[in-house]
């Protein structure tokens, strides 16, 4: 499938909240961007020491491991939404509370390498699914969190959500602007 299935979504294809994530993604081929993100995230995450994995930049904030587990959980949820909508399911899909999910992820008992491997598997699976879609299917809309959303918007949100959290890891957790 070509990238024509994934032009930048219009503002009415997602909740206004997600505009901040969509805006973080460059105007390149989305699927190539997501594949490159996989490589970049792997390099970042496997370069963090296991001791750093328990670091939180402030009291009450997630640890690095919990941030990675959050990214994995969210990517899965976005993919599930995209799958349901792509398959023509018009059932409104519920939201989720990431703050309830984080402590249940059991991230503290996992290595960063294990979390990085799981993210890589999830992203590869999502890329395979997204590559299979036609432009018509990617444009399909459904309802998630009480808001209309298109499949292609979900893909852009996935990519932007990762940019957002890798940026937080670099700046607030690792002290790097890169």
Domain definitions of the chain by residue range: 3-173
pLDDT on residue 2: 47
CA distance linking residue 60 with residue 54, whole number of Å: 13
| Contact yes or no for 156/22 (Cβ under 8 A) | yes
Classify 3-173 by CATH class.
Answer: mainly alpha
pTM of the predicted model as reported, rounded to 2 decimal places? 0.95
| Each residue's pLDDT expressed in tens, for the chain with a length of 178 residues | 445 789 999 999 999 999 999 999 999 999 999 999 999 999 999 999 999 999 999 999 999 999 999 999 999 999 999 999 999 999 999 999 999 999 999 999 999 999 999 999 999 999 999 999 999 999 999 999 999 999 999 999 999 999 999 999 999 999 976 5
* Helices 64-86/151-168 angle, 10° precision: 170
What Å distances lie between residue 94 and 26, 97, 144, 147, CA to CA?
29, 10, 6, 10
pLDDT on residue 176: 78
């Amino acid at each position: 499938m070509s990238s024509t299935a994934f032009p930048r979504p219009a503002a009415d294809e997602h909740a206004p909240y997600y505009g901040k994530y969509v805006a973080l993604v460059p105007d390149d081929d989305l699927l190539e961007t997501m594949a490159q993100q996989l490589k970049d995230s792997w390099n970042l995450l496997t370069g963090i020491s296991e001791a750093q994995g328990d670091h939180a930049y402030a009291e009450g904030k997630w640890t690095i491991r919990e941030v990675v587990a959050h990214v994995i959980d969210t990517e899965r949820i976005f993919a599930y939404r995209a799958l349901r909508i792509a398959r023509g399911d018009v059932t409104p899909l519920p939201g989720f509370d990431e703050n309830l999910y984080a402590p249940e992820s059991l991230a503290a008992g996992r290595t960063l390498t294990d979390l990085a491997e799981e993210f890589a598997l999830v992203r590869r699976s999502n890329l395979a699914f997204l590559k299979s879609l036609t432009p018509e299917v990617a444009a399909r809309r459904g309802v998630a969190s009480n808001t209309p959303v298109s499949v292609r918007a979900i893909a852009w949100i996935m990519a932007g959500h990762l940019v957002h959290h890798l940026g937080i890891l670099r700046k607030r957790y690792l002290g790097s602007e890169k």
